[in-house]
Structure formats: structure tokens, C-alpha cells
Structure 1
Amino acid sequence: MLVTGASIAGPAAAYWLERIGYEVTVLERSPEPRLGGQNIDVRGLAKQVLERMGLRDAVLAANTGEVGTRFVDAEGATVSEFPAEAGEGDGPTAELEVLRGELARILTEACGDGVTWWSGDHVVALDQTDDAVTVTLAGGDEHAFDLLVVAEGPGSRTRGLVLGEEQPELKRLGMYMAWATIPRTDADDDWWRWMTVPGSRSVTLRPDNLGTTRATLGFMSDPVGFEEGTREEQVAELRRRFGDLGWEVPRVLDALEAGSELYVEDLTQVIAPTWSRGRVVLLGDAAWCVTPIAGAGTSLALVGAYVLAVELSRLSPGRPPTDAFARWEDWMRPMVEDAQDLPPGTPRLANPETRLGTALLRVGTKVAASRPVRSLAGRLTSGPDDERGLPDLPA
């Protein structure tokens, strides 16, 4: 079996597919392990998946150390706060907060000898028969596999080869986000500090466990091609949009101009009409990107990888994999659709254009931070969950 993509969904799928008896090859486009990335979290049923993998303690040990979330004003003064231990369930800061690269490393290292790793190549063509999927790689090699799992990002090119004319809806949310890794200073603490200012702009700073600080700059905008620009153009655009702000913003912009790590994205949901075609199945962001606004992408990837393995393990002898893929999609789709069903006005309401809107938002966070409301918020942000519970792998 071939799995394309070695971020979160790919290694998780490789682990479980090897567990049920497949020989798995993971293909990653990048020539080197992709160990960068920003803060992600594991919530809801995905915690149980980590427990079944025996990895919960490893993820806890790699936690970023974030102690909670503070909303701050334009000068950095605290408006409201949500300690990590508050509420019934996870709040804005989850119990399992980890860097994307750290979780990818943990998942990769958990895979056994039955998983082979290829890097620096990608699929440019594929052909299916009733018995196999033959892929052609950019380097020119051809390989045949029983199954193909496309565990790539929201802009997956392999997905385009699989679905042909039946491409997914790409639902833009109207917001750009830029993630940066900058040097940690004495001004930093272990809180996720979140500032929203007029002009539909937000700036956040988060701790990590590697001695640096993770910054995010977000702004509402019509499509301007921000994500397609050169790094120099992107930094200049961020300076233009955020250069009038105080607090820690000048430091973030200066660090970017000095060469700090930068990744930008036009937040877009992927809503695919189907997640499989023949012997090929889409998994994670390639199938259902929910965007960071939903806060569920990592958890859905982990749950999706596990349930896919469960359904394949239940496949009756002689039956095609499409049977398992259909049952898997039936199980996962309600959970994904729930994550993509954002409250009306999201993310605009959390990024007001006016001073009045910003002031009202700050009042709203104060109310939400009160103990009764905070307890309810913890339950509402506990992540992808389901009354069915996780299915069990056959003994």
C-alpha cells in the first residue's frame, strides 16, 4: 500500500495499516523530514486514538507548555483569560498542545519495520485496474500498489488525479493567516496571547517547547493572492497591514524581515463529494480540510486514520476495498461536516472591522471567561466526539 504525505494523517495511517497487516510505503514530496510547523492540538476521540497507539504520554512530554489563553488589548494588557485547567474538557488551550513537527516525529517513530519511507518525489500520474493502482512518480519510476491513501494537504495535486472532473468545492473563509517562528524574549510567557484590533486583524503569540515563540498574523480580506507571493512580498504586505500596531507586533515584523520561518495560507475548506475512487482513498486535509478556525484538523486526521484501518480489517475475503471505503466515509462524514459547520459570521465576528466591534468582542471574551460560561465553553471546544465511541479493531 502507498500513502502519500508524511505530516499527521499519513504517518497515523501508516501505523494502523501496518498494524492490520499491510506492507506500507509512505511517500513525502519534501526531500527532508518536515519537522517545522505551528501549534496544533488533539481533542475528543483523537485522544483515545493516541491511547490505543500508546502515544499519549509521548505527546504530553512534547507539549508546548502553554498554560492557557489570554485575550489582550492593543497595548498587551489582559482583557480576559482561560486557564488550561478550567472547564469540563478542553478550552481554547487543550490538554494536548504540541507542535505539528513534534507530533509528526512521534507518529513516524511509532511506525514499525513494515513501513518504508520515500522522500523527495511525488505522484504525477496514476492508473487503476480492478486489482492495483499504478503510480508514476515525478522522478520517472512506476510502482504498483494494492491501495493508495492520499494523505496530503488541502491543495493536494494527487487528489486532482483521483477525482478527475468531480473536484471538491473549495470554500474560502475570507481570511489570510501567516504563521511565524521568532526568537523568544523575556517579554514572552507561557500563555497564548491573542490581540484583535480594528481593521479585522489579529495577532497571537504562543510558547513552544523548543525555546522559540510562535506568532500568527491574521487578517480578513478579499482574494489578493497573498499566499502566492514571494517571501519578500509576503513580509512587505504584512508590514503594510500591521506596521501601525504596537505591543509585540514590531518585534514580529522585524524577525520576519530578518529571515524567521514564515508560512501563509488563504483559509479554505475542502468539501469533496466523495473521499474515494476505486482503490484510492483521500484522508485528512486532502479530503476534508476544516481549516485552523475549526480547531479539529489534527484530531480528525487521527480518528480518520484509525477508523479507515478498522474498516479495512473488517473487509470480507474477496470483497473490493470500495466496501470498506464506503463504510469508513459513512462513519467519518457526520463528524467532518459538524466541524465544517462554523457558526454564522465566522471568522468575521471574531475579527471586527470597527473600533466598536472590537470593543464588543472584548466584552464578549470577558463574559465567556466567567466561571459558569467558561465551563460550558470547555465542553463546546472539546473537539471531535461522537456518542458511538471508537470502533474496535477485530481481535
Structure 2
Amino acid sequence: MRVLISGAGIAGPALAFWLHRHGIAATVVERSPAPRPGGQAVDIRGAARAVVDRMGLMPAVRAARVDERGIATVDAQGRRTSEMPADAFGGEGFIAEIELPRGDLAAILHEATRDDVEYRFGDRITALRQPSQGGVAVDFAGGGTEHFDLVVGADGVRSGVRGLAFGPEESYVRPLGGYIAYFSVPDPGDLEHWVLMHNAPGGVTAGIRPERGGTAKAYLGFTCAEPGVERRPAHEQRRLLTERFAGVGWRVPALLEAMPAATDFVFDALCQVRVERWTRGRVVLLGDAGYCGSPLAGLGTSMALVGAYVLAGELAGTADVAAACDAYQDRLAAYVAAGTQLPPGGMRGYAPRSATMIRLRSLSMRMMLRWPMRQLLAGQFAKAGAIDLPDYTPPLRAVEF
């Protein structure tokens, strides 16, 4: 069996890892010229911890984690209005016990697979054809056509594979009515390992979270019903952020001042991806390409890792690719449904529009650590582990001396 994976972020290399473990040949194609560094912090929760353990990568992941003690909301003067420690809810709260930069996790997965998996950086899929005799004929931007038994779209929210095999983006990507920007800033030196978040009237939210190596990650989010802003040039996005956050207090002026110098500026729409069936013939979707709950839901990385483990395990258990893909969806359906569910309030809870709603949101966060809110929220966080993982781990091969 030959499997082609589009996307060398998190889901793609994780799938390649497990396919190689099961003796299945995998090729990863990635349009970027090299693994992409940086990015916002991602977390590994619930069942995904078991997957990383089975990969033998937990020591490397823990070595790369960022020491985050919790999240606090602050007012315009920097006074804390609520706190949620990271160890609340068994390390599965708003801040997970394992948080690390997205680029670091991608580098760990690439390092674990680079000697065993073929990577083709700087290339992409331009056409897919599924002949009657089975498999997929794939055209590449770099030239040439090859035949694979299965093509996996692990290429994110705006998946090119999904567009080719399933249809236009607007059929599957659901805007949530807001945008968010991430970029690195110098470490202010006073975060004390806490993520800080400030809301202001008008549906704007700003935050800063600790990193390693003398930097911190800033984020600026705002509500906006206008579509397509994520496709504008970066200088227009920066100008829009400056306009929307004009007059906002706390640390926002310093964050805006640091924004033009950031080399890792990322601006994107807050959206969800919903695809009813993740398979079309011999093309299957994995991770954000098929099921993305948005940063508000917070389980994207974990679902990608768990999905990769399950898809590879089902493919290894049968020669019937279609049956394996069906079993992959059946096993993950309830887990993904829970993981893509937005927290109470959705965008209104993330970026309240009035001063009154901001105060009520801070009050509700303070109540989350008390009964009965604590019990209700514990159920919300428990969805990270709401799947029984089969043991697909193949037996260790005998070593000949």
C-alpha cells in the first residue's frame, strides 16, 4: 500500500509515524519549503497523551513544554479579575498541563519520521483522479503524475485536498464572526508563567502568554462579520488591528507597537470545519481539514494526533481501504463531535461586546472553581479523553545479532 499525505504540520507527520510503524509506505508532500517553525501554543490533552506515550515521544514533548501556571483575566489597569490555575481539573482546564509551541511539536514529529518517511517540501497536489480500477492518480505542481492507494488531506482548515476531492471551501468552513492575530513580542519579564487576557467593549480581546527564549506570544482578536479579511495583505490586516484596538488600555499599546517588527505575524479567521463524511473514494481527511472546532474549542491538536493513530491502525488491520476509512470515522465520530463543540457563549463568551458582559464573564470564570459550576465544567473538559483507544501497537520486531 502507498499512502500520500498532504501536509507536514501535526496530523500529517503523526500519521506517517504510525503508518511506518505498521509497515505501510507513506509520502508527505508540503507546499512550504521546509517545516514551519513558530506558531501559537498548542496543547496535548486526554487521549492524545496516550497516543504520544505510545509513540515514545512524551520525553521530547515534555522537554519542549512551556511552563504556564494558568490563565487570568485582567482589567485596563492590569488588575486580575479572575484566575484559572493550570492544575485545575487535573491539568485539563483552559490551560493544559502540556502546552508547547506548535512549531516545536511539528519539529519533534518530523525528527521522529525524517529517516523513515519520504518528505517532499516545496510541492503540492494540483489534481486528483480516481480511475475505475481503484487508487488515486495524483498530479503535482512540481511535475509528474503518480498513483497511490490512498490520499490523505492533512493540510489544515483551507485544505487543498478537500477542495479538489470534496468541493469548495464555503461548503465546509463555517465562519464564527471574528478574527485573531498571533505574533511574538519581547518577554515583558513579569508574566510569572501566567497567560493574561484583557477584554474591552466592542468585542475585542487581547492576550499575552509566556514562551521560552526571551519572547512571549501576543494575540489580538475581535468580532467582525465581514468575510475574507484573512486573505488581505498583511499590512492591511495590521492597519485594521491598529484601528480596532485604538484606545484599548492594559498592555495593548505596547503590543501594537511591537507588531510591525514581528517576523511571525499570523492573521486568520475564527472558523470551524464540518464535513459529514471524511472519505470520498480513496481520499480521506484528517485533523483540521475534516474536523476543526476552532481555537475556541481547543482540541484541534489532540484530535489530529488521535485521528492519525486511529486511521493508521485501521488501515493496518485490513486490505480493504474503504472499510478502514469507514471504521476510522465510526471510531472517532463521537469524540470529534464533542471536541468540535464550542464552549458556552461561543464568540460572545470569548469577546463580549459590552462592559456589563465583560464583568459577567469574569464573574462566571471565578465561579468555575466552585460547586455546581465546577462539576458542569469538569464534564466539558472531560471530552478530551472521551474515546476508548484500541491497541493498534504492532509487536516489536526481533533484533538479529
Please, what TM-score do these two structures have when normalized by structure 1? 0.93
One of 118, 122, 129 as aligned partner of 1:120: 122
Aligned positions of 1:1-395 closer than 5 A: 1-111=3-113, 113-129=115-131, 130-164=133-167, 168-315=171-318, 317=319, 320-343=320-343, 345-370=345-370, 373-374=373-374, 377-378=377-378, 380-386=380-386, 388-393=388-393, 395=395
Distance in 1, Cα, partners of 2:169 & 2:235: 36
1:165 to partner: Cα distance: 7.4
Q: Runs (4+) of structure 1 moved beyond 6 Å?
A: none
**Percent identity, aligned pairs only?**
41
1:186 to partner: Cα distance: 2.6
1:190 to partner: Cα distance: 1.2
Q: In the TM superposition, what whole-angstrom CA distance separates every residue of 1:334-377 from its partner, at most 9, and x where no partner exists?
A: 21112223255312133211111111111112222448755763
The question of whether the paired residues in 2 share the 8 Å contact of 1:194 and 1:205 is answered with yes
Residues 58/373 of structure 1: CA separation in 2 closer, same or farther (3 Å cut): farther
Q: How many matched pairs? A: 392
Distance in 2, Cα, partners of 1:182 & 1:280: 40
SS at match of 1:126: strand
Residues 16/389 of structure 1: CA separation in 2 closer, same or farther (3 Å cut): closer
SS at match of 1:311: helix
Greater RCO structure (CA 8 Å; 6+ sep): 1
Residues 188/50 of structure 1: CA separation in 2 closer, same or farther (3 Å cut): same
1:292 to partner: Cα distance: 0.7
Deviates further, 198-207 or 74-83: 74-83
User: What letter is aligned with 2:258?
Assistant: A
The question of whether the paired residues in 2 share the 8 Å contact of 1:160 and 1:167 is answered with no
1:260 to partner: Cα distance: 4.1
Distance in 2, Cα, partners of 1:376 & 1:390: 28
Distance in 2, Cα, partners of 1:327 & 1:226: 38
Q: In the TM superposition, what whole-angstrom CA distance separates every residue of 1:216-238 from its partner, at most 9, and x where no partner exists?
A: 11111112432121111111111
Residues 61/214 of structure 1: CA separation in 2 closer, same or farther (3 Å cut): same
SS at match of 2:328: helix
The question of whether the paired residues in 2 share the 8 Å contact of 1:69 and 1:93 is answered with yes
SS at match of 1:294: coil
The question of whether the paired residues in 2 share the 8 Å contact of 1:91 and 1:382 is answered with no
Where structure 2 has 5 or more consecutive residues not aligned to the other structure, the ranges are 396-401
When the two chains are superposed, the root-mean-square deviation of aligned CA atoms in Å is 2.0
1:185 to partner: Cα distance: 2.3
Deviates further, 381-390 or 227-236: 381-390
1:76 to partner: Cα distance: 1.3
1:382 to partner: Cα distance: 4.2
Aligned residue number for residue 399 of structure 2: none
SS at match of 1:384: helix
1:10 to partner: Cα distance: 0.4
1:184 to partner: Cα distance: 1.2
Distance in 1, Cα, partners of 2:43 & 2:346: 20
Distance in 2, Cα, partners of 1:2 & 1:167: 25
Distance in 1, Cα, partners of 2:77 & 2:375: 28
The question of whether the paired residues in 1 share the 8 Å contact of 2:184 and 2:262 is answered with no
SS at match of 1:58: helix
SS at match of 2:152: strand
1:211 to partner: Cα distance: 2.3
Deviates further, 381-390 or 81-90: 381-390
The question of whether the paired residues in 2 share the 8 Å contact of 1:135 and 1:142 is answered with yes
Residues 126/87 of structure 1: CA separation in 2 closer, same or farther (3 Å cut): closer
Q: In the TM superposition, what whole-angstrom CA distance separates every residue of 1:222-268 from its partner, at most 9, and x where no partner exists?
A: 12432121111111111101121122111111111234421111111
Distance in 1, Cα, partners of 2:224 & 2:168: 29
Distance in 2, Cα, partners of 1:390 & 1:2: 24
Please, what TM-score do these two structures have when normalized by structure 2? 0.92
The question of whether the paired residues in 1 share the 8 Å contact of 2:158 and 2:169 is answered with no
The question of whether the paired residues in 2 share the 8 Å contact of 1:307 and 1:391 is answered with no
Aligned residue number for residue 398 of structure 2: none
